[in-house]
Amino acid sequence: MFNFAFNSLHEAIYMNGHGLYVWSVVILVFVSLLGFFIGYTIKIKKIKDKLNEPN
């Protein structure tokens, strides 16, 4: 069940011609999640700073 499905790292990246499709989706998901996490963290920090400002 936990055997590496490919003979080499190059083969894992290429995936018999399907690598471009698979890895582009991986990048899409990674960038979307990271972007949202960073975005909300910055937004929360900014509003916290604003609320901490003396009137």
Partner 1 sequence: MIKKFIHQFASPKTYLYQVDRFYSYIFLISLITYTISITWGLLYTPEDFVQGNSYRIIYLHVPASFLSQSLYIAMAISSVTYLIWRVKLAAYLVIAIAPIGAMTTFIALISGSIWGIPTWGTWWQWDARITSTLILFIMYLGLISLHNSFSNHEKADKLLSWLVIVGAINIPIIKKSVDWWSTLHQSASITLTDKPSIDPVMLYPLIGSITGFFGLVICLVLLSSKYQIFIREKNKSWVKDYV
Residue ranges binding partner 1 (CB under 8 A): 1-6, 12, 15-19, 21-22, 24-26, 28-29, 32-33, 36-37, 40-41, 43-44, 47-48, 51-52
Distance between CA atoms of residues 15 and 22, nearest Å: 8
Angle at 53 between CA 50 and CA 54, to 5 degrees: 150
Other Cβ atoms within 10 Å of 21 Cβ, number? 9
Closest contact distance (angstroms) between CB of 10 and partner 1 is 13
Closest contact distance (angstroms) between CB of 24 and partner 1 is 6
Closest contact distance (angstroms) between CB of 14 and partner 1 is 9
